[in-house]
A and B are shown apart, each in its own frame.
Chain A
Amino acid sequence: MQKSTGQKAAIPFWRDERILNILGQAAFIIGLVIIGSFIFQNMRAGLAKQGITLSYNFLQGISGFDISETLFTYSRTSSYWQAFQVGLLNTLSVSIVGVIASTIFGVILGVARLSTNFLINRLAAFYLELIRNLSLLVFLIFWYLGVFLKLPRVGDAVIWPGSIYLTNRGVGVPWGLPTDSYPTFRLILIIGLVLAIGVFFALRAYSKRTGQAPLTILWASLTFAVVALLGWFVLPEAPLRFDAPVIEGLNMTGGKVLSPEFMALTSGLVLYTSAFIGEVVRSGILSVSKGQVEASRALGFNGFQTLRLIVFPQALRVIIPPLTSQYLNLIKNSSLAIAVGYPDLFYISNAIQNQSGRTVEMFSLVMITYLIFSLVTSLFMNWYNQRIKLVER
C-alpha cells in the first residue's frame, strides 16, 4: 500500500514543493548568517587594525569614578562590573516604582475619564490629552530643571508637615531606622503575611463554594495590617525609630533624601506612562458591552459591585496586552535618565564605555540586559493574561 502510493507520487525532489519551500528557507537563513558574520568580521578586523580586541575581562578593572546614588557600598576602587550592577539596580528600582505608581494613577485616570461628573471627566480628559502629546524627554527635563531644581536652596528649605523637606538638593522624608526589637518585628510581619495569604485562599475557597464575592484582597490586607500593628505595640520597644531629615552644613542628613534626579525621572515617567495606561483602562472598560452593566443593575448590583464583579474582570482581558507594552515602554524609557543625570543602567554603562573605551562590549551588555528585563516582564504578563482570559470550551 505504502509502496504503491510512493511509486505513484514519485515526484523528483527538485519539483517537490515541500522540499523546495524548505530549501528556500534554509537558503535564506544561510544567507542571513553569512551577511551577519561578514559584518561581525568587518567590525573585528576594523577594531584589530586599531589594536583593539573584543573581551569582557576589562569588567574586572577598577572603575575610578564615584556614583551619586548606589543601593550598595560602592567606591572609586570598585570594579566596572560593580558599577554596572549599581546601574542595574537603579534601573530596576525606578522601573518597579514606576510600574506600580503608574498603574495606580492610570486606573484612577481611566475611571475618572469615564466619570459622569462633568468636572472630573473634563479634567481627566484635559490631562490625558496634554501629557500624551508631549515628548517624554522634554517632559523629563521640565521636571528636572523646571520643578525639582527650582525648589529653594538647602538654607531656606520648605518644610511640609511630617518633616518633609523640599530643597533643590532633593526631597527629604522621615525614614525608619531599625532598633533592637526590629528582628522580632520582622518575624511578626512574616507571620502576618502568612496569615494574610491564608485568609486570601480561605475567602477564595468560600467564594467558590457559596458563590458569594467577598472583598478578598481587602480582608487579606486588613489581616496583615492588624497583625503588624499589634506587633508594633506589643513589643517593649518600637521596632523602627523615625529619623527626620535635618539640614546640616551643605546638605541634608538623616531621614531619606530622594535626589532631584530620581524624583524628576520617576515623576516624569509615572505621569507620562499613567496617561497612556489611563487610555488603555478606558478602552478596556468601554469594551464591556453596555448590556452587561444594565443586566447587573437589573440584578440589583450597586455601582461599585458592577465595576468590581462585572466590568473589571471582563475589561482586564482587553487591558492586559496593551498594558504590557506600556510597562515595557516605561522600563525602556527609563534609559532617558541620562538626560537628568540619574545613574541608571544606560548612564553608567555609557560612563564605563567611555572610561574604558569598550564601546562594543558595553553596548552589547546593555542591550542584552534591557532585552532580559523586557522579556521577563512580558513573560510574566503573558502568564497573567493566560490565566484571566476567557475560558472557551
Chain B
Amino acid sequence: MTDRLRRVGRRLAVGVRRVLRVARWETARASGGVDRRTLAAGIALLLVAGGVVGVGVATGVAGLDVDRDVYRVGVDAESPYAEAIEEAPSLRPVPGGTASLGDSTDAVVVTVVRPGAGDDGAIDAADVDEVVVRATDTRKGEAAAASVREAVEARNERVLRAEPNRTAAFPVTVTLRYVGRTTGFDDGATLGGSDGGSTGDSDGDGGDESASGGTVTDADGSGSGTDAEETGSDGSSATDSEADTGSDGSPGDDTTAGRTDGTDGDGSTTGGTDGTDGDGSTTEGVDSTDDGADADDGFAVPSIGGGAFGANTVGSPGSITPPFPFTSLLLAFAFLVPMNFLIQAYGSSILDERTNRRGEPLLVTPLSPAEIVAGKTLPYAAAAAVVTSLIALLVGGGALSVIAVAPVAATFLGATFVGAMFARSFKELTFVTVGVSVLLTTYAFVPAIFTNVTPVALVSPLTLVVFDLQGKAVSAGEVLFSTAPMAVGAALLFGLGLGVYREEDMFSQKPVTRKFLDALAVRLAPVSAGGGLLDRDRLRGLGSVAFLTACTIPFVFVAELLAVAVLFALPVTVSIPVLLVTIAFIEEVAKSVGLYAGFERGVFERTDGVGVGDADAGDADVGDGDAGDAGVGDGDGSLRVALAVGIASGTGFFLAEKATAVVQAVGLTDLFLGRAAFADVAGLSGLPPLALAALFFAPLVLHVTATTVASVGASRGRTAYAVALTLATLGHAAYNVGVVSLG
C-alpha cells in the first residue's frame, strides 16, 4: 500500500514537473512570438489610451468641459435664474440689457415683476411675478432653453440639499426598499417586477413605481431631518415591526411593498419596511436584497439630477430608479474583459500546434497529451488568475470575486481549447473565439443584471462578484451553485478536446461537426450485437455510454439555466411552453448525440452494416472475409444494440440529473420558472409512498424511453435520427407539461 502510494506520488511529481516544463517553454515561446516593435506599439497604444482617459479626467476635474459656453443666455444680474445660469458650464450669461435674441443670445431670461414692484428702488424675490425663458425658434434655441431648465432644476436641488432644515427642504421622505422576486406561481404571473408595486398601490402609499421593489412612504411630518440616508444604512428589516401600525391601513398586504408609515415621529426609524405584516413568506428575500442594496453606493443609474440616487441620498421623485447594480455590474464586467484577450493568445497557441503539424514532435515525447495540454494552458490560467486578482484589488473585490471568476476563466479557456482543436484554420478559430467570447460573456453578464431581483441571477458567477462588491455575504451553497456548473463544464471541455489531441485527429482537416462526433466517439467503448447480456465487454461499452451521457449534465444544466435566464422576462404564458420544449430538446440532444456519434463512427453496430461493433470498425476490410457480416442481415442484432445503448444513456442521464440537487440548495426551484426547468415531483407530499416512488422513477422511465427512441433513429442514419430526436423531444416536452401541471 505504501509502495503504491509512493509510486503514485512519484508519478504525480513527474507529471507536475513535466507540466511545469511545458508551461515554462510555452511562456518563453509565447513571449517570443511578440516582437519588440509590436510590444512597443502595444505599450504605446495603452499609454495613449491611458493618456486620453487621464486628460479626460483631468479636464473634468479642472472644469475644462468640452461643452462649456455652448449657449449664450441673456439674463439680468438681479434675475433669480442668474446664479443658476452662471453655474452651468454649458451656459454663458450675457447681460440682459445688451442681449438681443437671435443675434447675441440663444435664449433670454425675462423676469416679470408684479405691478408696483421696485418702487422702493429694489426688486426682491417677492416682487417677481414670473420668470419666462424665451428662445430662438431654432433647434439650438430649444436646446438652450432645455439647458436653462436643467440648470435651474439642478440649482434648486443644490439649494435644497444645502438647507439645514432638511424637513423643510424635503417635507416628504421616500424610502426605497427593494425586494427580491418572491415565490409562487403568482409571482411568475407578474413577471416584470410589478409584484411589489401592485400590492403597494393597495396600501395607499401612492403606488410605488419601482419595477421590482416596494416603496415605503414615510409621512414624516415632524421629523428631525432623518431621512432615507439613515434608512439605507440600517438595512435591518427587524427594526420597525411597529410600522404595521401606521396609516397603511392595509395590513393584509402580502408582499413587502411599501406602505405609508405615519408613526415615525422623529423620522429616525427606518422606514418601517420589514414586510412581515403580510403572509410573511417573502421576508427573507426582502432582507437579503435590501442589505445588498444598501451597501452598494452606486446602486442606481445616475438620475436626472446628475447624481446617483440611492438609499443614502436625496432627490426628486423623478430620480427614482430601479435597483440596477450599475456600478458593481460595471466593475464585475471588468473581470471579463481580459479573458477575451487571453483566449485569443491561447487559441492561437493551440491551433499553432496543429497547423503544419508543428506540434507533432511533442506527441513523440514521453509526455502524455494531458500533460502537454496542461502545460500549455497553465501560463494562460495563471495570467487569468493574476489579472483577476489585480482587478479585484483595483475595484475593491475580495477572494470571493477571484473564486467566482476562476471557473469563468477556466470555461473561457476550455471552450477555446475545444474550439482550437476543432477549427481547421485561424479563420475558423476567429469565429470560435468570438463565439466563445459572446456566449460566455452573455452567460456571465446578462443574469448578473438581475442580481437582487431574482435567484436566477446566481446562474452566473458574476453575480457573486456583484455581491462581493456590494459587500454582501453569500452562502457556500450559492457559491457552489454559481461556480460548480462552469467549473465542471470547463473540465469536461478540456476532456472533450483531449479526446482528439492525438495525431490522427489533430492534423486532419475534418469539419467541426465531424470532429465533435470524433471527440465523443473516442470516449465510447464498442458495443456489438453479439455476446451475452452481461458480457464484460458489453458492460464496459454500456458503462462508457452512461458515463459520457452523465458528463453532459453540466452543459445541460448551463444551457437550461441560460434558457431560464433568457426566457424569464417573458410573460409566463409564452415562456413556460417555450421553456418546456427547449429543455426537452436540450436533454434529448445531450442524451443521444453521443449515441449518434457511436453509430456514425462504427463504435456501435449499425443496422446498415457500416459499423462492425469495433472502435475502428469503419475498416470493414474487403479482403478480410469478415466484412459486411455484421449488420446487413442482422437488423435485430443492431436494434438490440440501439436499445441497449439507449437504456444505458437514459439511465446515466437520470443518475447524473440527480446530482443537480444543488439547485435545491439555493431555492431556485422555488421560482416558478426554475421549477419548470428542473421539474421534479415536488409538491406531491400528499401522495402515498408508492405513488411517490413511482413518480420519483418517472423521470427514469422518461429518459430511457425517449433516449431509446432517439437511439434507434441514430442507428439508422442522420435523417432517421433527426426524426426520432423530434419525437423524443415532443414526448419529453409533454411529460414536462404534465409534471408542471401536477406541481
Q: Is B one of A's binding partners? A: no
